[in-house]
Amino acid sequence: MAADLKHSSARAVYVISVAAELAGVHPQTLRIYERKGLLDPARTGGGSRRYSERDIERLRRIQDLTTAGLNLEGVRRVMYLEDEVTRLQRELARVKQEASEAVERTHRQYRRDLVPVSNTPAPWQPGR
Amino acid sequence: MAADLKHSSARAVYVISVAAELAGVHPQTLRIYERKGLLDPARTGGGSRRYSERDIERLRRIQDLTTAGLNLEGVRRVMYLEDEVTRLQRELARVKQEASEAVERTHRQYRRDLVPVSNTPAPWQPGR
DNA sequence: GTGACCTTAACGACGCGTAATTGTGG
DNA sequence: GCCACAATTACGCGTCGTTAAGGTCA
């Protein structure tokens, strides 16, 4: 057995040669990426790198960006900014959702105050 | 006079040598940036470039990023993503503002229905 | 006619990926 | 003891900034 690494199904871990093959690059390239701060794979007690599924995804993204002509510092910044954009998009969607819910809640509150719940064929007309 | 360019105070325009000096780079470098799609200065009828104050700002940003080690394709993407981030931040602030206004408007509408207009010295207090 | 601008080409420096070398761990 | 990994070094290729050469507009 491979010593001191947990092998839970969600946390698959590859050695550098397999990770390199999965991304279609030279193993040495992965070491360069790590040195430049683009990846931070786990390490075994003996010092060997172990790449998670997330590392592989990130590795593929790095490949896309370098293929598009960016150098490694550019890749670093672009990946950070892309994370920032998706974070903001999610927050924007959340705020919009909560906003409409807040208005709806306010409506319902006044409805409850104005109209007996047991007796409402056409309770209230906005413009009349 | 410099022919066919308006010289309104808000739209200051520099020739390439001055723009290059303002950013501390070689004029030819500015032509490269343009070729790579990082800048798009105005042109005179004769074909000369004229750089606006906005172009100079952008030029300084390009210098910051290249000094930080990005290549030009990286600069392109980073600047685009930075614009995207600020756009999203602005929209997020706007939506938050409009959301609170919408709730307040809803409150006021029901208050108006409940209380005769002729008889309201202090119509409604949000927090009370 | 003299500059400053234009474009294209060439040169040097640097970054990146691959390969080779040597050492170490499982 | 063998094979894969780790780290460092060397090499080839592409990109970037500068410079040079030749043409055009004011």
Q: A28-71: per-residue pLDDT in tens?
A: 999 999 999 999 999 998 889 999 999 999 999 999 999 999 99
Q: How confident is the model at residue A11 (pLDDT cuts 50, 70, 90)?
A: confident
Report the pLDDT value the prediction gives residue A124, as an integer from 0 to 100. 52
Residue B11 vs residue B15, higher pLDDT: B15
Angle at A4 between CA A56 and CA A11, to 5 degrees: 30
Which pLDDT value is given to residue A103?
86
Contact criterion met (CB < 8 Å) for B92 and A96: no
Would you place residue A113 in the very low, low, confident or very high pLDDT band (cuts 50, 70, 90)? Answer: low
Closest residue (CA) to C1' of nucleotide C18 is A26
Mean pLDDT of B84-94: 97
**Which backbone phi and psi does B120 adopt, to 5 degrees?**
-140, 90
| Pair of tokens at residue A81 | 């900014």
Preferred mutation among A62, A73, A87 to probe B, highest tally of B CBs within 10 A: A73
CB A55 within 8 A of CB B54: no
Q: How far is CA B104 from the centre of its chain?
A: 31
Residue that is written with structure tokens 């070729």 in the block: B35
Q: What percent of chain B has a predicted confidence (pLDDT) above 70?
A: 80
What digits encode the pLDDT tens for the residues A62-107? 999 999 999 999 999 999 999 999 999 999 999 999 999 998 898 8
User: A120-124, B45-49, B57-61: which has the minimum mean pLDDT?
Assistant: A120-124
Give the pLDDT band (50/70/90) at residue A12: confident
Higher pLDDT, A6 or A26: A26
pLDDT for position A3: 41
CB atoms within 10 A of CB A23: 21
Contacts 24+ apart (CB under 8 A), A38-41: A38/A62, A38/A72, A38/A75, A38/A76, A38/A79, A41/A16
Mapping DSSP to helix (H, G, I), strand (E, B) and coil, where does residue A50 land? strand
**Chain B residues lying within 8 Å of A114, measured CB to CB:** 110, 114
